[in-house]
C-alpha cells in the first residue's frame, strides 16, 4: 500500500513537472489602450483566452503598449532582440524600419474596405517574407482600424482648404502628402494629439473615426472630412524563435486561431467605423460619445487630386526607400498591389 502511494506521488510530481516544462510563455505587446474598443473589447480578451481557444499550453502575458514605457516605433526590434514574443504591430509607426509596412497601406491610393482586403490578400505574403529575412519575425495576420480621415478645428469645405493649415500626421509619407497640398504637417504621437488640438497647436488631425471619438479629439474639432488618407492597417507578428518552439501541428492551430480572429476584426472595424461616424455627426449610434461635427463630404475632385499627389510624390518617395532595403521591391509591389487599385 505504502509503495503504491509512493509510486502515485512520484507519478503526480512527474506529471506536474512535465506540465510545467511543457508550458510555453508568450509575452505579448498589444495596442495602446487609447485606441479604444478594438483594444479592450477584442484584442485583450483574445489574448487572455488564447490558451483556452487553442488548447495549447500557453502562458500569455499581455500588456498594452502604453504600459511598457517603450515607443511603438521599435516593435520590430523588440521582437528581434527577444524582449517580447509577439506584438500587435503598428504598421505606419514601424514603416521606417520595414518599408513594406508602408507599401501595403500606401498613403492616398485607396479608400474602401474591399480594396484594402484585396491589397492585403496579395501583398501580405511579401511583408511576411521581408519580416522573416530582416527581423526574424513571422506575420500572423493583417487587420485595419479603418480609413484614416480628417478632423478639423477650423472651417474646411474640401481638400483645397488644407492649404495653410497645420495638420497632425503620423508618418513622413503623410507629411509629404499634406505638404504637397500646401499644408504644414506636424508629426505628433496619437496620445499627444488631443491636447495639440485643444490648444490650437494644429488645425486638423488624421486618424480613424472610432479612435478620434474614443480619444476625445472630437471635443476640440468641429468639422469631419472623411477623405481616406490611408487605411490604418496593423498586424500581428511573432518572433521566429518563439514560432519554432511550436510543433508543426501547434503552429497550424495557432495560425488558425489568428485567422479566425483577424477575420472578425475586419468585420468589427467596418461596423465600428460606421457607428463612430454616425456618433460624430449626431446621428443615432450604439457606442461612443455623440457630437455634432459638420460633415464635409469629399468631392470627386478631392479624391482625384489626392490620388495624383500620391502617385507622383508619395509612391516614388516610398519606392526609393524600399529599393534601398529590398532591391526589386517596387517591381513586386507593382505586380501584386497595383492591379488591385483599379
Summarize pLDDT for 87-115 with one digit per residue, the tens: 999 999 999 999 999 999 999 988 899 99
**Grid cell listed for 151:** 478632423
Q: Do domains 21-145+232-274 and 148-230+290-341 have the same CATH topology?
A: yes
Domain ranges across the chain: 21-145+232-274, 148-230+290-341
Q: Give the residues across from 121 on adjacent strands.
A: none
The pLDDT of 63-67, averaged and rounded, is 93
Residue 20 has a pLDDT of 41
Cβ-in-10-Å burial (0-12, 13-18, 19+) of 248 comes to exposed
Confidence of residue 342 (pLDDT cuts 50, 70, 90): confident
Q: Give the integer Cα–Cα distance in Å for 43 and 217.
A: 22
Confidence of residue 273 (pLDDT cuts 50, 70, 90): very high
Summarize pLDDT for 155-211 with one digit per residue, the tens. 999 999 999 999 999 888 899 999 999 999 999 988 899 999 999 999 999 999 999
Q: Give the integer Cα–Cα distance in Å for 296 and 302.
A: 11
Any idea which architecture 148-230+290-341 has in CATH? 3-Layer(aba) Sandwich (3.40)
Q: State the pTM of this model.
A: 0.88
Contact 234, 256 (CB under 8 A): no
Confidence of residue 72 (pLDDT cuts 50, 70, 90): confident
- β-pairing, 58-64 vs 24-30, is parallel
Sign of CA dihedral 71, 77, 81, 86: positive
Contact 237, 140 (CB under 8 A): yes
The pLDDT of 225-235, averaged and rounded, is 95
- What are the distances in angstroms from CA 58 to CA 84, 89, 236? 14, 20, 17
Confidence of residue 18 (pLDDT cuts 50, 70, 90): very low
- Helix, strand, coil shares of the chain, percent, nearest 5, are 55, 15, 25
Residue 327 has a pLDDT of 97
pLDDT of residue 314 exceeding 50, the answer is yes
For 21-145+232-274, CATH number out of 3.20.20.140, 3.40.190.170, 3.40.50.620, 3.40.50.150 equals: 3.40.190.170
Contact 105, 235 (CB under 8 A): no
Residue 17 has a pLDDT of 38
Confidence of residue 37 (pLDDT cuts 50, 70, 90): confident
The pLDDT of 37-61, averaged and rounded, is 96
For residue 167, which of 178, 158, 176, 156 has the smallest C-alpha distance?
178
Contact 56, 35 (CB under 8 A): no
Q: Give the integer Cα–Cα distance in Å for 191 and 49.
A: 28
Higher per-residue pLDDT: 190 or 123: 123
Q: CB under 8 Å to 126, separation ≥6 — which residues?
A: 100, 332, 333, 336
Confidence of residue 69 (pLDDT cuts 50, 70, 90): confident
Residue 70 has a pLDDT of 84
Amino acid at each position: 500500500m505504502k509503495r503504491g502511494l509512493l509510486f502515485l506521488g512520484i507519478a503526480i510530481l512527474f506529471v506536474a513537472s512535465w506540465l510545467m516544462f511543457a508550458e510555453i510563455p508568450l509575452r505579448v505587446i498589444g495596442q495602446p489602450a487609447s485606441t479604444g474598443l478594438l483594444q479592450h473589447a477584442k484584442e485583450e480578451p483574445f489574448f487572455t483566452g488564447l490558451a483556452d481557444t487553442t488548447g495549447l499550453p500557453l502562458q500569455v502575458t499581455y500588456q498594452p503598449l502604453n504600459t511598457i514605457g517603450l515607443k511603438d516605433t521599435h516593435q520590430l526590434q523588440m521582437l528581434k532582440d527577444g524582449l517580447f514574443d509577439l506584438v500587435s504591430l503598428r504598421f505606419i509607426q514601424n514603416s521606417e524600419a520595414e518599408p513594406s509596412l508602408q507599401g501595403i497601406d500606401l498613403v492616398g491610393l485607396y479608400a474602401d474596405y474591399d480594396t484594402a482586403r484585396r491589397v492585403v490578400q496579395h501583398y501580405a505574403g511579401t511583408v511576411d517574407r521581408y519580416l522573416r529575412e530582416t527581423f526574424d519575425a513571422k506575420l500572423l495576420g493583417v487587420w485595419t482600424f479603418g480609413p484614416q480621415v480628417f478632423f478639423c478645428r477650423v472651417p474646411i469645405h474640401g481638400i483645397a482648404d488644407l492649404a495653410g493649415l497645420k495638420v497632425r500626421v503620423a508618418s513622413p509619407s503623410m507629411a509629404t502628402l499634406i505638404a504637397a497640398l500646401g499644408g504644414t504637417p506636424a508629426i505628433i504621437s496619437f496620445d499627444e494629439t488631443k491636447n495639440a488640438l485643444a490648444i490650437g497647436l494644429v488645425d486638423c488631425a488624421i486618424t480613424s473615426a472610432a479612435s478620434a471619438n474614443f480619444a476625445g479629439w472630437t471635443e476640440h474639432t468641429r468639422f469631419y472630412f472623411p477623405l481616406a488618407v490611408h487605411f490604418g492597417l496593423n498586424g500581428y507578428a511573432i518572433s521566429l524563435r518563439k514560432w519554432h518552439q511550436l510543433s508543426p501541428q501547434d503552429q497550424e492551430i495557432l495560425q488558425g486561431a489568428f485567422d479566425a480572429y483577424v477575420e472578425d476584426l475586419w468585420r468589427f472595424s467596418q461596423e465600428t467605423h460606421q457607428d463612430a461616424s454616425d456618433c460624430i455627426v449626431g446621428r443615432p449610434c450604439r457606442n461612443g460619445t455623440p457630437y455634432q461635427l459638420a460633415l464635409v463630404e469629399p468631392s470627386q475632385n478631392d479624391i482625384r487630386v489626392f490620388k495624383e499627389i500620391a502617385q507622383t510624390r508619395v509612391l516614388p518617395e516610398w519606392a526609393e526607400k524600399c529599393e534601398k532595403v529590398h532591391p526589386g521591391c517596387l517591381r513586386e509591389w507593382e505586380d501584386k498591389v497595383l492591379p488591385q487599385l483599379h
